[in-house]
């Protein structure tokens, strides 16, 4: 019962009821990434007359956070690549870093040493700054 209400009243938790119905009626499963996100397109790759290209969408595994889409699927989602990574046998290059989610707003976010949110004390001013005053 809890899952039923979550699908009706929340958009940030996986998928809404409307998205589930739309996917069942018009969607074709394309693939899944290592994060468990599932990717869909219109059945048969049909071109949407309003958009002029096929619709593509993702159903997130858990919290709907766009930064959880990996680089290989990002290109397909944004129509940069026509063929999904499942058909390309995509292999990352040795210089590519593994995907990391966006941690902004969380405890794991980057906080430089001068930030007020960083742990420890803020460093003292060095004296190399001279304030601007009008008329100088």
Residue 57's pLDDT band, with cuts at 50, 70 and 90, is: very high
The Cα 31–Cα 10 span in angstroms is: 24
DSSP 64-124: --GGGS-HHHHHHHTTS-SS-HHHHT----TTPPPP----TTSTTS---TT-TTSSSPPPP
Residue 122's pLDDT band, with cuts at 50, 70 and 90, is: low
Cα–chain center distance at 11: 15
pTM of the full predicted structure? 0.67
| % of the chain exceeding 70 in pLDDT | 87
Q: Residue 126: what pLDDT? A: 73
Domain boundaries, the chain: 2-88
- The overall average pLDDT reported for the chain is 81
């Amino acid at each position: 019962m809890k899952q039923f209400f979550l699908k009706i009243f929340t958009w940030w938790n996986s998928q809404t009821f409307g998205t589930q119905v739309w996917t069942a009626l018009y969607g074709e499963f394309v693939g899944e990434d290592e994060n468990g996100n599932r990717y869909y397109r219109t059945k048969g790759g049909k071109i949407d007359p309003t958009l002029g290209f096929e619709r593509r969408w993702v159903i997130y595994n858990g919290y709907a956070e766009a930064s959880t889409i990996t680089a290989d699927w990002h290109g397909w989602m944004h129509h940069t690549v026509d063929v999904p990574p499942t058909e390309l046998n995509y292999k990352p290059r040795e210089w590519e870093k593994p995907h990391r989610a966006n941690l902004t707003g969380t405890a794991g976010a980057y906080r430089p040493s001068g930030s007020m949110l960083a742990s420890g004390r803020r460093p003292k001013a060095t004296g190399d700054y001279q304030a601007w005053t009008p008329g100088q």
